Structure 1
Amino acid sequence: MTSAPTTTQPQSPIGRIPVIGIKPAVECGAFPTKSVVGEEFDVEATVFREGHDAVNASVAITDPDGRTTLLPMRCTNPGLDHWVRTISADRPGWWSYRVEGWSDPYGTWEHDATIKVAAGVDVELMLEEGARVLERAVKLDHDDADRTLLQDAVTTLRDESKEPGERLAAGTDPAVVEAMHRTPLRDAVSPSREFAWWVERERALAGAWYEIFPRSEGAEFDEATGKWRTGTFRTAMKRLPAVAAMGFDVIYLTPVHPIGSINRKGPNNTLTAGPDDPGSPYAIGSKDGGHDALNPDLGTWEDFDAFVAEAERQGMEVALDLALQCAPDHPWVTEHPEWFTTRADGTIAFAENPPKKYQDIYPLNFDNDPEGIYAEIRRVMQVWIDHGVKIFRVDNPHTKPVEFWQWLIDDVAKDHPDVIWLAEAFTRPAMMHTLGKIGFQQSYTYYAWRNEPEELQEYVEELAGDAAAYMRPSFWPTTHDILTPYMQFGGPTAWKLRAALAATLVPTYGIYAGYELIEHVARPGAEEQIDNEKYEFKNRHWEDYEPGGAKEGQTLAPYLTRLNQIRRDHPSLLWLRNITFHKVDDSSLMVFSKKRGDDVVIVVANLDPHSTRESWVHLDLEALGLHEGEAFTAHDLITDAHWHWGEHNFVRLGVDAEPVHIIELRRY
């Protein structure tokens, strides 16, 4: 006897109305899509069916309370089956979305009846079928006005005393079409899988950061003794009003823990430190404690709490550096030697990134006792959260297991969903992107090394594309570790330009203290500042740049202040996915715009810091929300100049002019 053929049940049945190619879907839905409250993004899908009957699609979004809302999608290219809908969330929490494809009996009837009645084919049959479709629709959850409208259409469709054209017009009236659009009649509904959607507070997407070494703020050199007096949390508090006045909303502190004495680094990363050298704050741990302790030179917990409270009063949040490595005299080294890597000669391996060596740091080995290390770091995190820290800049997360970060971020989020993690991961793209997928809200980027218009545009389009569903970039022109040749030799024009681009290309950017003073001299053989603040105190004498000071006016502080004010006044700059690049004749220039509702900002920048250039820019008016040939007032928010602009415009930017136009579009 011959047995019947067998088939294997597919893992994911296709559904009566196929729905495929859904975006965003991070790793096919393995990780959640991210957004912040109010941030808009498009859900896309390919939805189709066999034959010629009408097909339609909806997005079903489910809020944290379990309530589901259906939103109609729009087919952007009839015949190619691409559907899209812009969605956003009104509060933080776990949301989800799915796409539902469905057969559209009203759309099928409207299409066929319009053709057949006009041709005199099956006229009464088509009118009756329309009446029956709308009779079904009347039973749906319409409001009273729509229900009356549909019922009247049914009556007219069956009124044989009227001409067929009049009867058909009642069933296809635009008001009827709109009512059916609001509450559609859906047959053969075929839902996709559910996609997780994590919605966070706005700071997870947008912020202006300012980095300081607390020990430098208020540090003073005593000429009489030849020694430095360290800054403290209390003296650093005095700097907060000036930082807030520049418009920054995050004050970022490098590590504030005890600094190791063994193998302490001296000035400019030398291997021998003098008795009064403070060492690198990234060499964490000493007899005074580890990651859960404060450097006693900076003050007490009362002092730290006062600093956090003062930052909050100034309208800023504190971000703290989380550097998971240990000085040789960290308490963990003696209490848990199994948490480190022991070499064949019995010594503990210090950190290396050949050819760089970090003799003052031991990296953790997460494989020897993961349960113990995970629990201890989670305990440490709670210490800082309990002291008001809700943002962490994580040092070198790419040198620790990805699964550890996924666990830690998830575990913290259970009780503290407002905590934000920034990955300082200058590493391979796969690692950077994966850190974003598993939980990091923000990431450092390659911005500092993208200096040509073409490469910078390509990079930003990548970040604002599919990657924006899980990774949010943070642009820093310089850091305490980075001083590129472009910044070393570009002069003040470069420093204004790179700050302006960082502040307008992406929603989150950062400035390292001293940027406003154009600290551009590098340590020989390294792309970082000479006399680096990582290894010594630095007194910038901020008072000299204040009104009446010896160096009044020799600072970019007013320029940074203006950039941050522009960001606060223009919400379009606080989104990532809304960027459009425009054409320009000169390859050294770059033009882009951002639009959010009625707020439109256009940025024109000369990326050559050594010359002044003239060129024509060519704007995509549709992307700006304008009609073909429409003109507008271009208000330069840097210089307060006003111009009459349209599709094609002449610009002059560079050394003897402003390097950047930041333009507010004003309609006539």
Structure 2
Amino acid sequence: MRDDRGRQRVIIEGVRPAVDGGRFPIKRTIGDELIVEADVFADGHDALAVALRYRAESVPQWTEIPMEAIGNDRWRAAFPLSNIGQYRYTVTGWVDHFLTWRRDLIKKRDANQDLRLDLLIGAQLIEKAATQAPKEVEQALSRWVKELRATDAPEADRIRAALSAELAGIMAKHPDRAQASLYEVEFAVIVDREKARYSTWYEMFPRSCSTKPGVHGTFKDCEKRLPYIASMGFDVLYLPPIHPIGKTHRKGKNNAPTSRPEDHGSPWAIGSPDGGHTAIHPALGTLKDFRRLMERARTHDIEIAMDIAFQCSPDHPYVKEHREWFRIRPDGTVQYAENPPKKYQDIFPLEFETDQWRALWDELKQVVDYWIEQGIRIFRVDNPHTKPFPFWEWLIGEVKRTHPDVVFLAEAFTRPKVMNRLAKIGFSQSYNYFPWRTTKAELTQYFTELTQSDVREYLRPNLWPNTPDILTEQLQHGGRPVFMSRLVLAATLGASYGIYGPAYELGEHLPREAGSEEYADSEKYEIKRWDLDRPDSLQEFIGCVNRIRRDNPALQRDGSLRFHAIANEQLLCYSKRTADGSNVILVVVNLSPHHVHSGWLELDLASLGLDADQPFQVEDLLTHAHYLWQGERNYIEVNPHSAPAHIFRIRRRVRTEQDFDYFL
């Protein structure tokens, strides 16, 4: 075959969006439109035609749409993502000799030049296209060839035929692409369902749901808790591991190295004679009970998320049946987990460097497949950064090939590059550094990175102000105002966020000891009874914030986040808006839990879609107070003892033909 690459004049570079040059997919959700840009140019001054090619992974045929020049040899087009799953896209371009000829013909006509030879050149180009076109198109093009070659006809008629919009349209559909350039990389985009982008999580230990002190809760007890969770507006209920818990080296209260007979151990010490990762702790109920819980949750628009923790207690069946999947020490014992000087004798990590790694991978995938069969579609994955990247890339890819609706949340509070790699290889959402970003500078820098840099193409943050492992110093000492302000930050900075409850709404703030982020009397090691009716509960406030999220689509995405200046380091101001500008939210948070703070906002009116000469209305969705503002500078004051934040909806002034003003 003859190599014609030497005749390909079009250069294609800088295709965006892309992750690591196309090594990993970007992420979007169903209903999105994927905007693709590329630098496309050639030598000389010929006109180019550029097309965006795309297809669903399951469809072999490509669809092409023209790309438009947007300046400086940059081209753009977009295509709809109408199904969950994976799409592929790339860019092609070619020198369009007919378009070049037509463009120059217009210039020569306007300069009153002789066009007789140019019309004959055009006829040649059309004739060549006719020989390569379908029969009905060939006949139409042949008529134009005759018209352009009709030297006895008036030149004005021939020029009019040459510049016919109909002819231009046909030639655009049947170009000469013999020397077209095709970008060498096929890019991928993973299209997830909406919950991968926008979700509101509530974490709860099922064994603590009993209303009787000291009695182990059941799935039926969890059912009774569903209306309470729904009243706060959560749509994902995340349960820590529900599997049998080992007894060997079981941890006691407050992570004590020895346990008492009445201690229940850590749910993450998975496995006992009752079974392993596909079994249910007998005290919680049966598989039938679990399925019933999922069904009842759906009636409240709540989806159950399951914990995947690929580790074993010493009593897990794997330890006896597959010792080759564990690291064996010189004394013949199995290596337990440790992070020196800490020791976790109740947990055996799996050995992914085993010679039997393929069998181990297959077994762990079967665990995920089993729970998918039971109806689970959301998995919170415990410590994925302690397992190999190739394993997760394979497992998630295989699962999503047959179940593209599955969502994986990576619980990896780890180094940035490790966290980013996990997101690149397929995790739908990611835990992040939000718990420890507390100052105005830290929050601004971090969330600008998450939403405005290339990170946004692959990492979706899920913001948690607390977890069973994380009780930050700020929550320990800031009191009720901090619990409220951190909730507002999580719920409005991030389209996805979650809380560990009921500890959060009840303001649990006592650490195990000074300098520790561990809760005193941690629920990880014992059953707790929560008084949900306490008058100081944040239940109502949380419900209000989550209703605001639900009613305002601007808060259901992260890409539009913009920060606005205010000359007070304790006040943080930012906004989000929908693509069409119909919903605009402005948030001001007092980062100090103790003092009233005020200042002058300096709004970026363009990012808000506002006219500097027109007044606009802001409605505080927390208090329903209304204010009339105008221009970029507006005074604000936030009292943390009443409400440590304002969540404003901005309404633009609209004037009707009858000179009647209203705010939209």
Q: Same fold (TM over 0.5)?
A: yes
Q: State which of 577, 599, 604 in structure 2 corresponds to 1:615.
A: 599
Aligned match of 2:361: 374
Cα pair 1:130 1:171 within 8 Å, conserved? no
Q: How does 1:187-336 map to 2 (within 5 A)?
A: 188-192=179-183, 193-221=185-213, 228-336=214-322
Partner of 1:481: 469
- Structure 1 alignment gaps of length 5 or more: 1-8, 222-227, 546-550
User: Residue type matched to 2:397 in 1?
Assistant: D
**8 Å CA contact 1:219, 1:230 repeated in 2:** no
| 2-structure distance, mates of 1:262, 1:411 | 35
Secondary structure at 1:58 match in 2: strand
Report whether the alignment pairs 1:83 with 2:75.
Answer: yes
Which of 408, 411, 415 aligns to 2:402? It is 415
Q: CA deviation at 1:24?
A: 2.1
Secondary structure in structure 1 of the residue aligned to 2:221? helix
Paired amino acid for 2:373: D
Tell me by how many angstroms 1:110 deviates: 6.5
Q: Do the aligned partners of residues 16 and 361 (structure 1) sit closer, same or farther apart at CA in structure 2, a change above 3 Å counting?
A: same
Give 1:355-374 correspondences, 5 Å limit. Answer: 355-368=341-354, 369-374=356-361
Matched, 1:561 2:561: no
Is 1:503 equivalent to 2:495 in the alignment?
no
Instruction: Tell me if structure 2 keeps the 8 A contact 1:451–1:607.
Output: no
Q: CA deviation at 1:37?
A: 0.5
8 Å contact kept, 1:570–1:599: no
Give the residue type in structure 1 aligned to 2:476: Q
Contact 1:618 1:649 in 2 (8 A): yes
Q: What is aligned with 2:25?
A: 32
Decide whether aligned partners of structure 1 residues 14 and 532 sit closer, same or farther in structure 2, where only a CA change above 3 A counts.
Answer: farther
Whole-Å separation in 2 of the counterparts to 1:200 and 1:94: 9
Q: 1:599 to 1:125 in 2, by over 3 A?
A: farther
| Separation in structure 1 between the aligned mates of residue 544 and residue 89 of structure 2, nearest angstrom | 39
Counterpart Cα distance in 1 of 2:255 and 2:68: 59
Q: How does 1:353-502 map to 2 (within 5 A)?
A: 353-368=339-354, 369-464=356-451, 465-502=453-490
Single out whichever of 208-217 and 23-32 deviates more from structure 2: 23-32
Instruction: Report if aligned partners of 1:248, 1:316 keep a CA contact under 8 Å in 2.
Output: yes
Q: Could you say which residue in structure 2 is the equivalent of 1:523?
A: 512
2:660 alignment counterpart: none
Question: Structure 1 residues 373 and 470, CA, compared in 2 at 3 Å: closer, same or farther?
Answer: same
Distance 1:178 1:448 in 2: 59
Amino acid at match of 2:440: P
Query: Structure 1 pair 417/169, CA: closer, same or farther in 2 (3 Å)?
Result: same
RMSD: 3.5
Partner amino acid for 2:608?
Answer: L
Moved more, 499-508 or 472-481: 499-508
Alpha-carbon deviation of 1:540? 1.0
Separation in 2 of the partners of 1:606 and 1:599?
A: 23
| Residues 587 and 82 of structure 1: CA distance in aligned 2, closer, same or farther (over 3 Å) | farther
Note if contact 1:38-1:90 (Cα within 8 Å) is conserved in structure 2.
Answer: yes
Q: Bigger shift: 96-105 or 203-212?
A: 96-105
Code of the residue aligned with 1:561 in structure 2: it is G
Indicate the residue corresponding to 1:666 in structure 2.
651
Partner Cα distance (1:207, 1:463) in 2? 17
Q: Residue 585 of structure 1 corresponds to which residue in structure 2?
A: 567
Partner SS state of residue 220, structure 1: coil
1:125 offset after TM fit, Å?
6.5
Match of 2:527 among 532, 537, 541: 537
Pick one of 85, 93, 101 that aligns with 2:93.
101
- 2:578 is aligned to 595
| Alpha-carbon offset, residue 91 of structure 1 | 1.2
Larger deviation: 281-290 or 597-606?
597-606
CA distance in 2 between partners of 1:571 and 1:176 (Å): 42
Counterpart of 2:522, as a letter, is: N
Name the SS of the counterpart of 1:318 in structure 2. Answer: strand
- Paired residues for 1:2-17 under 5 Å: 15-17=8-10
What is the CA distance between 1:170 and its match in structure 2?
11
Secondary structure of the residue aligned to 1:271 is: coil
**Pair 1:82–1:305, CA change in 2 (3 A):** same
The aligned amino acid for 2:560 is N
Corresponding residue for 1:345? 331
Paired letter, 2:574: V
User: Displacement, 1:328?
Assistant: 1.5
Map Cα deviations across residues 553-593 of structure 1 (whole Å, 9 max, x no partner).
Answer: x2222222122222222223222333333333334323232
User: Would the alpha carbon gap of residues 622 and 177 (structure 1) be closer, same or farther in structure 2, given more than 3 Å must change?
Assistant: farther
| CA shift digits 1:633-652 (9 cap, x unpaired) | 32222222223334414222
Equivalent pairs counted in the alignment come to: 632
Deviation of 1:510 after TM superposition, in Å, equals 0.8
Cα gap change, 1:58 to 1:621, in 2 (>3 Å): farther
Q: Give the Cα–Cα distance (whole angstroms) in 2 for the partners of residues 249 and 104 of structure 1.
A: 53
SS of residue paired to 1:342: coil
* 1:90 partner amino acid: S
Q: CA deviation at 1:485?
A: 1.2
> For 2:578, what is the secondary structure of its paired residue?
strand
- CA distance in 1 between partners of 2:609 and 2:8 (Å): 38
**Offset of 1:396 from its aligned partner?**
0.4
CA offset at residue 14 of structure 1?
10
Task: State the distance in 1 between where 2:632 and 2:168 align.
Answer: 39
Are the equivalent residues in 2 in contact too, given 1:280–1:534 (CA < 8 A)?
yes
Fraction of identical pairs, as percent:
42
Structural mapping, 1:133-172, within 5 Å: 171=163
Q: Which residue of 2 aligns with 1:48?
A: 41
TM-score (structure 1 length as normaliser): 0.85
1:121–1:409 CA distance, 2 compared to 1 (3 A): same
Q: Secondary structure at the match of 2:9?
A: coil
The CA distance in 1 between the partners of 2:496 and 2:539, in whole Å, is 18
Query: What is the CA-CA distance between 1:481 and the residue it aligns to?
Result: 0.6
SS of residue paired to 1:555 = coil
Once residues 521 and 7 of structure 2 are traced to their aligned partners in structure 1, the CA distance between those partners, rounded to angstroms, is 63
